Structures are given as C-alpha cells and as structure tokens.
C-alpha cells in the first residue's frame, strides 16, 4: 500500500515537470520604448512590464518616469493600428509586442516570431475581422501575380487589454 502511494506521488511529481521546465515569456517595454521579450522578469533586464499596473497606481518606466500609458491596445482600433504600424515598419518584433504569449515556451515564441518576420515582408493589403472572429492580415502573395495570402490571429481580452494570439 505504501509503495503504491509512493508511486502515485512520484508520477504526480513527474507529470508536473514539463510545466516547470517551460519558462514564462515576459512582455516588457525597453527604455527606448521598444518591445522586449525575455525569460527573465522585466525589472531584471532594465525594462517595464506591459501588464497593467494595479488599480490606482500610475504606470512608470524602469527609470521611474511616467510612461505614455500605451503599453497595450485598449480597443480593437488600437490593436489594428498597432498591427498596421508593424507592417509599415516591417517589424516582426512589433507584431510580437501585440501578441499574448501566455502558454508558449521560448521555442514556440521563436518559431512564431520567424513566421512574423516572413509575414511583415509582404505588403499589407488589409486587416479584416473583429474581436470575436479575430483579425486576418491579408497580404500580397509573393510573385506579384495579384494573389493574396491570409494570416489569422485570434483576439483575446486579458488584463484590460486586447491582444493577438499567434497564428494557429
């Protein structure tokens, strides 16, 4: 009986190991205002967390100065504008700054950022969709034949902000 209980406890411990082995991805804003992604807490890399500050406190940068407050999209218009600006700048990191990375390990995030890098190289034709259905980034297909490609992003509300989910 004791052996069975010990075996069950050991199995329970082993089952939790993959969850602990996967490091969290911290979404931060660097002192230059650019998104920073790290497996370390934002403060330890000299950046500010993008998660909203507790109610009643004013957001601040890592140097203690007040921030602009634009750490995440408060509505669908801001989310679309941020995505359009990321395409205009051809910046996969800017797209990454709009994504809620919860549940993604570092390798999953890296793979998705590589996908974003290829995506933002294509000219953006339109952004279609809404909060419930998600947003499709419609781009010109390579080759200039007039075709288009679609990349679907889910949209989720978390911590008072709207975020994209990585394409599935």
Q: How far apart are CA 16 and CA 88, in angstroms?
A: 42
Name the CATH architecture for the domain at 72-168.
Roll (3.10)
**Mean pLDDT in residue range 140-164:** 87
Among 43-47, 145-149, 155-159, the range of highest mean pLDDT: 155-159
User: Is the per-residue pLDDT at 35 higher than 80?
Assistant: no
Q: How far apart are CA 98 and CA 166, in angstroms?
A: 10
Among 110-114, 140-144, 159-163, the range of highest mean pLDDT: 159-163
Average pLDDT, the chain: 76
- The first and second tokens of residue 166, run together, are 């990585």
Q: Where in the chain is the domain with CATH 3.10.450?
A: 72-168
pTM comes to 0.57
- The first and second tokens of residue 61, run together, are 């940068």
Q: How far apart are CA 64 and CA 150, in angstroms?
A: 41
C-alpha neighbours within 13 Å on the C-beta side of residue 148: 11
**Mean pLDDT in residue range 23-32:** 73
User: Is the per-residue pLDDT at 57 higher than 60?
Assistant: no
């Amino acid at each position: 009986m004791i052996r069975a209980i010990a075996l069950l406890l050991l199995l329970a411990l082993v089952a939790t190991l993959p969850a602990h082995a996967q490091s969290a991805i911290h979404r931060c804003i660097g002192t230059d205002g650019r998104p920073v992604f790290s497996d370390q807490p934002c403060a330890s890399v000299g950046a500010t967390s993008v998660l909203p500050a507790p109610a009643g406190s004013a957001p601040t940068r890592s140097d203690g100065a007040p921030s602009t407050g634009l750490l995440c999209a408060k509505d669908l218009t801001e989310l679309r504008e941020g995505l359009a600006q990321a395409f205009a700048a051809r910046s996969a990191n800017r797209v990454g700054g709009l994504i809620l990375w919860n549940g993604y390990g570092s390798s999953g995030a890296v793979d998705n950022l590589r996908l974003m890098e290829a995506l933002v190289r294509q000219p953006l034709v339109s952004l279609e969709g809404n909060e419930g259905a998600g947003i499709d980034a419609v781009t010109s297909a390579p080759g200039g034949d007039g075709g288009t490609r679609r990349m679907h992003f889910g949209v989720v509300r978390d911590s008072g902000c709207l975020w994209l989910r990585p394409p599935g």
